[in-house]
Amino acid sequence: MAVMNVNPTRMELTRLKKQLNTALRGHKLLKDKRDELMRQFLERIRENKVLRERVEQGIREANSHFVLASAVMQKEVMDTALLSPRQEVYLETTVRNVMSVEIPAFSLTTRTADEADRYSYGFAFTSFELDGAVENLADLLPDLLRLAEVEKATQRMAAEIEKTRRRVNALEHVMIPRLQETIRFITMKLEENDRASRTRLMKVKDMMLDKAHHYHV
């Protein structure tokens, strides 16, 4: 690992030691963040799997009901029955911050003139299979929204995990080793300078003692 281009002085050594301590603390914090993000990411992956299976099953059941309803109802009658829904659906989107990752959160509310009536048609000319399809899809809507929320969360978490991983690796394999190597280099240089200074002082002392000896003689 190449050392940094710095002056080998005690002031520079002190500055680099502080920088190293900051880098080590940052490295630990980033590793903790990466590990917690990974934990939450895996939790959402498991939830995503359960939700997707439930949603796909619900869609299959709704399709089955629609196919059976189509077999006993005229297309025009079915289209007319579904044309004017009585239920109003309101979707509110907010953002939650999870480990510096902005994750969307969806809140669903519905409103009808009669809370017990979710069907947009009368029952005289429709099939109970159509009721089943509408019921399936209405019950499926919260899971669909939660699935969208979880999938978006996993996408953003995966991107943040990768970014954090790169920063951890840069600190662990580049910045921290380079700082440590530079600190060792400066320490060695300062020790060499100290030894050289002591050697010069000893020589000066010997010369002064030698002169003093000749003066007394």
Domain 22-208: top CATH class: mainly alpha
**CA atoms within 13 Å, Cβ hemisphere of 150:** 19
> How far apart (Å, rounded) are the C-alpha atoms in residues 160 and 166?
10
Tokens read off for 211 = 């002169």
> How far apart (Å, rounded) are the C-alpha atoms in residues 179 and 2?
10
* Digit-coded pLDDT (tens) for 121-160: 555 456 778 778 878 888 898 899 999 999 999 999 999 9
CB neighbour class for 179 (10 Å; exposed up to 12, middle 13-18, buried from 19): buried
| pLDDT given for residue 211 in this prediction | 65
| pLDDT given for residue 124 in this prediction | 46
| pLDDT given for residue 149 in this prediction | 94
Report the chain (217 residues): mean pLDDT per 10 consecutive residues: 81 94 97 95 96 94 87 76 72 89 87 59 62 82 92 95 96 95 93 81 71 59
| pLDDT given for residue 203 in this prediction | 74
Predicted TM-score of the model (pTM): 0.74
| pLDDT given for residue 42 in this prediction | 96
Could you tell me the residue ranges of all domains in the chain?
22-208
| pLDDT given for residue 130 in this prediction | 77
